[in-house]
Structure 1
Amino acid sequence: MSSDIPGFELPLRLLLGFRVLIDELHAELGRQGHPDMRPMHGFVMQAIGRGSTTAVDLGRTLGVSKQAAGKTIDVLERIGYVERTVDPHDTRRKIVRLTPHGVDALVRSGRIFETLRERWVGELGEERVQALVTDLRKVTPPDLFRLDTPGWFGTL
């Protein structure tokens, strides 16, 4: 089977599509009161969710070391998105949870992604966007919220 499109273009276009959406998301989050949010923060905040976690568990979920998770927690705590508290069941452990500011960022992100999807629909049409998502579902694992991408990219 032959194609005028080289094989390497597919992953690069998928990555660029992701990058365009994430860049537009963060530009809008900045306008809506979250100028310090960075793409990595979204992975971390999704991993914490509405519950709580520890640096060890967060590192495991993200595929990074406890130290790397701890550094990101430090940043998010400093800019007001998470807070650390003592685990009521084990006072030696610190648990991390989102602050109201962090929850607000996630809620706004969801709304912004809906707006961005609608822009794509305006450009490509509803049927093509639906087909794109349907086709990607066929060739990707079912776990939509796989959050270990930071660890997968690794470090230099």
Structure 2
Amino acid sequence: MESRVRRSQEDPDLGMLAGRLLFAVQGELFGALAELGFDDLHPRHGAVLAYLEVDGIRATDLSRLSGQHKQVIGTMIDELETLGYVERRPDPADRRAKLVCPTERGLAQMTAADKMMTAMQERHARRLGREKYADFKTTFIDVVEHQRRG
């Protein structure tokens, strides 16, 4: 049997590569956010924060978009509400439903994170070349969506 360590170094599988990318992006993003005063956030909160809309979004949509179970998203929303980043409001389109809406602190975090993610992507686009980076993203999106469909 081939050494898993050697394989992970010489020919990492999709899971290894995706994990390495996720952890590196999260490390940079949440480290920089902490320096700006958002030090109470953790990478797990990204399942909500990455998909949060200025005008709000339903928890079921957050679950679908992030690929996380509704219970996990509910726990993250509870935590973010306690930390002051989001609040639940009635959905004007359906009073029985709730929207998860960013607070002022949440909006400030969203703005900062968007700038950081744009800068991160720009850095890679400059490094690889814009066309190559655009091709990479298109291919990566295709692989992710195909995998999600099973």
TM-score, normalization by structure 1: 0.68
Q: How many residues align?
A: 139
Give the match for residue 58 of structure 2. Answer: 54
Give the match for residue 15 of structure 1. Answer: 19
The answer as to 2:35 corresponding to 1:31 is: yes
2:10 is paired with a residue whose SS is coil
Q: 1:137 to 1:114 in 2, by over 3 A?
A: closer
* Contact kept in structure 1, 2:58 and 2:99, CA below 8 Å: yes
User: Share of identical aligned residues, percent?
Assistant: 27
In structure 2, distance between residues paired with 1:114 and 1:47: 15
Give the match for residue 78 of structure 1. Answer: 82
RCO greater where, 1 or 2, for CA within 8 Å and sep 6 or more? 1
Q: Which runs of 5+ in 1 are unaligned?
A: 147-151
In structure 2, distance between residues paired with 1:90 and 1:12: 42
Q: Return the offset for 1:94.
A: 2.1
In structure 2, distance between residues paired with 1:87 and 1:138: 34
Quote the RMSD (CA, aligned, Å).
Answer: 3.3
Q: Return the offset for 1:13.
A: 4.7
Q: Which runs of 5+ in 2 are unaligned?
A: 1-8
Give the match for residue 4 of structure 2. Answer: none
Q: Return the offset for 1:47.
A: 1.8
* Contact kept in structure 2, 1:26 and 1:39, CA below 8 Å: yes
